[in-house]
């Protein structure tokens, strides 16, 4: 018999629901490059309304959405965007802002909560010296992936906005530096804060969010902003190869995601919390979690002993041993074992991410497997 696999590497492995598949099958389509796909138009309008922005743009990926925002806001040669040093834009988008957009990314150290020092930001901004690039954009990630799904506090966002709005030295041309939010999981942030996404996005010139992560749609992201911003982004989307034709087949799943999956995101958060509490309660000296800072559907599992790293932990969780099968601790069906897929990059932390297809039964099995593995690790490191 085959092992029972629970894939917790990322919510990018989520699958479209039956309702999404039916909507995709029935979607009314047209040529979106001509602006004639009614389903794409409906999705873009729906997203813009949710965020209280003027317009939206359906793009193939979050990486493209962030790149388009950088290119529109930093359209002048010799400009830069300021980002956190642990941000997805900086770490995991192949340097596209520089490689494709000709935009320099300047970094500030991210704090554990996903924010960065606003006084350091003020000092980082460069606007007047002929030797330096011109700061045109500041990017905030929410929720923050590498920091463990942290929800950026609204109070900090408001202070950031006030800093850029109220300091004339940061506005030499009378216009404040643009703000973009990489909101790949912004609906998780809104769920955790119990506020509409429009409140989080209120003072940002553009926001990008993913449909294909925790929202379970198969493909796509949405970029929202002003009509002028979206018109420029639409033009650049074509240059990047993102002009899709009968894309309503994909957009239909996005509409269903916004209607049916967003209201359920709290379930993912609760399941993540259950796993975190189970690991924390073991009081292992080698494997633990920061229970007080589990905000959403991402959990960082900390490997505190340098003798046992995250890669080793990930490999062990995926493996099924004869000992497990013998004691039947982690066997949903006789003869099967539990293979947990966990993300790691040879850091001191492993990462798991919950999504709609991870059931309550899966959570119970995942906890059993984690406990078995952690006990095994603790016993081995005693020797």
Q: What is the CATH number of the domain that holds 290?
A: 3.90.1150.10
Say if residue 1's pLDDT is above 60: no
Verify that 190 and 72 share a domain, yes or no.
Answer: yes
> Which tens digit of pLDDT belongs to each residue from 81-118?
999 999 999 999 999 999 999 999 999 999 999 999 99
Q: Give strand pairing partners of 283.
A: none
Verify that 75 and 101 share a domain, yes or no.
Answer: yes
Say if residue 320's pLDDT is above 60: yes
Is residue 307 within 8 A of residue 290, CB to CB? The reply is: no
- Reference 229, options 65, 20, 29; nearest CA is 65
Mean pLDDT for all residues in the chain = 95
Task: State how far the Cα of 217 lies from the Cα of 258, in Å rounded to an integer.
Answer: 9
The DSSP secondary-structure symbol of 263 reads G
Task: State how far the Cα of 121 lies from the Cα of 204, in Å rounded to an integer.
Answer: 17
Torsion over CA: 130, 136, 140, 141 (sign):
negative
Say if residue 327's pLDDT is above 80: no
Q: What is the CATH number of the domain that holds 19?
A: 3.40.640.10
Verify that 155 and 45 share a domain, yes or no.
Answer: yes
Verify that 166 and 292 share a domain, yes or no.
Answer: no
Query: Mean of the pLDDT values across residues 20-38?
Result: 97
Verify that 249 and 292 share a domain, yes or no.
Answer: no
Say if residue 334's pLDDT is above 60: no
Task: Please tell me the total count of domains within the chain.
Answer: 2
Q: Find all residues with CB under 8 Å of 187, minimum gap 6, and list them.
A: 197, 209, 214, 215, 262, 265
Verify that 58 and 116 share a domain, yes or no.
Answer: yes
Confidence at residue 3, expressed as pLDDT on a 0 to 100 scale:
86
Last residue of a domain, which of 226, 247, 262? Answer: 262
Q: Find all residues with CB under 8 Å of 360, minimum gap 6, and list them.
A: 271
Q: Give the model's confidence band at 347: pLDDT under 50 very low, under 70 low, under 90 confident, else very high.
A: confident
Last residue of a domain, which of 211, 237, 262? Answer: 262
E strand or H helix that includes residue 221: strand 221-225
Q: Give the model's confidence band at 172: pLDDT under 50 very low, under 70 low, under 90 confident, else very high.
A: confident
Last residue of a domain, which of 262, 288, 318? Answer: 262
Task: State how far the Cα of 180 lies from the Cα of 68, in Å rounded to an integer.
Answer: 11
Cis peptide before 143, with omega less than 30 degrees from 0?
yes
Q: Find all residues with CB under 8 Å of 143, minimum gap 6, and list them.
A: 114, 149, 150, 151, 152, 184, 185, 186, 188, 189, 192, 295, 296, 298
How would you label 362-382 residue by residue, b for 16+ Cβ within 10 Å and e otherwise? bbebbbbbbbbbbeebbeeee
Q: Find all residues with CB under 8 Å of 184, minimum gap 6, and list them.
A: 62, 88, 141, 143, 145, 208, 209, 210, 213, 221
E strand or H helix that includes residue 55: strand 55-59
Confidence at residue 175, expressed as pLDDT on a 0 to 100 scale:
87
Verify that 297 and 163 share a domain, yes or no.
Answer: no
Verify that 301 and 239 share a domain, yes or no.
Answer: no
In terms of residue numbers, what domain contains 292?
4-12+265-382
Verify that 225 and 286 share a domain, yes or no.
Answer: no
Q: Tell if the pTM clears 0.75, that is, is over it.
A: yes
Other CB atoms within 10 A of residue 243 CB:
17
Q: Is 315 helix (H, G, I), strand (E, B) or coil?
A: helix
Residues above pLDDT 70, as percent of the chain: 97
Confidence at residue 328, expressed as pLDDT on a 0 to 100 scale:
66
Confidence at residue 257, expressed as pLDDT on a 0 to 100 scale:
98
The DSSP secondary-structure symbol of 133 reads P
Phi, psi of 295, deg, nearest 5 = -100, -30
Verify that 64 and 141 share a domain, yes or no.
Answer: yes
Verify that 176 and 318 share a domain, yes or no.
Answer: no
Confidence at residue 332, expressed as pLDDT on a 0 to 100 scale:
61
Query: Mean of the pLDDT values across residues 26-51?
Result: 98
Verify that 80 and 160 share a domain, yes or no.
Answer: yes
Alpha helices (H) in the chain, listed in sequence order: 18-26, 38-51, 62-73, 88-91, 96-99, 118-124, 154-166, 186-193, 197-201, 227-239, 248-256, 265-281, 310-318, 322-327, 360-382
Q: Quick one: angle between helices 227-239 and 62-73, nearest 10?
A: 120
Say if residue 336's pLDDT is above 90: no
């Amino acid at each position: 018999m085959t092992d029972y696999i629970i894939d917790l590497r990322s919510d990018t492995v989520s699958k479209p629901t039956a309702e999404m598949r039916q909507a995709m099958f029935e979607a009314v389509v047209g040529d979106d490059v001509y602006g004639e796909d009614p389903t794409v138009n409906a999705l873009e309008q729906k997203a813009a309304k949710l965020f209280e922005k003027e317009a939206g743009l359906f793009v193939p990926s979050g990486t493209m959405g962030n790149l388009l925002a950088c290119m529109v806001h930093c359209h002048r040669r010799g400009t830069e965007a300021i980002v956190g040093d642990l941000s997805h834009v900086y770490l995991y988008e192949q340097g596209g802002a520089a490689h494709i957009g000709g935009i320099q990314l300047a970094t500030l150290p991210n704090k554990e909560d996903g924010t960065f020092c606003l006084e350091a930001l003020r000092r980082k901004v460069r606007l007047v010296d002929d030797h330096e690039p011109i700061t045109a954009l500041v990017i905030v990630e929410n929720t923050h992936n590498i920091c463990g799904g942290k929800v950026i506090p609204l109070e900090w966002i408001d202070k950031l906005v006030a800093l850029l709005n109220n300091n004339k030295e940061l506005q030499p041309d009378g216009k404040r530096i643009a703000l973009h939010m990489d909101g790949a999981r912004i609906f998780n942030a809104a769920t955790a804060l119990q506020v509409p996404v429009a409140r989080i996005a209120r003072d940002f010139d553009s926001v990008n969010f993913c449909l294909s992560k925790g929202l379970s749609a198969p493909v796509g992201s949405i970029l929202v902003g002003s009509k002028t911003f979206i018109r420029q982004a639409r033009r650049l989307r074509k240059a990047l190869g993102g002009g899709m034709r009968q894309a309503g087949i994909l957009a239909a799943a996005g509409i269903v995601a916004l209607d049916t999956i967003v209201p359920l995101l709290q379930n993912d958060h609760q399941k993540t919390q259950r796993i975190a509490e189970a690991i924390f309660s073991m009081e292992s000296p080698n494997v633990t979690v920061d229970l007080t800072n589990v905000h959403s559907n991402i959990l960082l599992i900390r490997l505190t002993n340098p003798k046992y790293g995250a890669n080793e932990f990930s490999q062990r969780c995926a493996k099924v041993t004869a000992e497990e099968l013998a004691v039947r601790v982690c066997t949903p069906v006789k003869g099967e074992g539990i293979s947990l897929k966990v993300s790691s990059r040879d850091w001191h932390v492993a990462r798991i991410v919950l999504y709609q297809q991870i059931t309550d039964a899966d959570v119970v099995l995942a906890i059993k497997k984690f406990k078995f593995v952690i006990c095994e690790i603790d016993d081995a490191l005693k020797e």
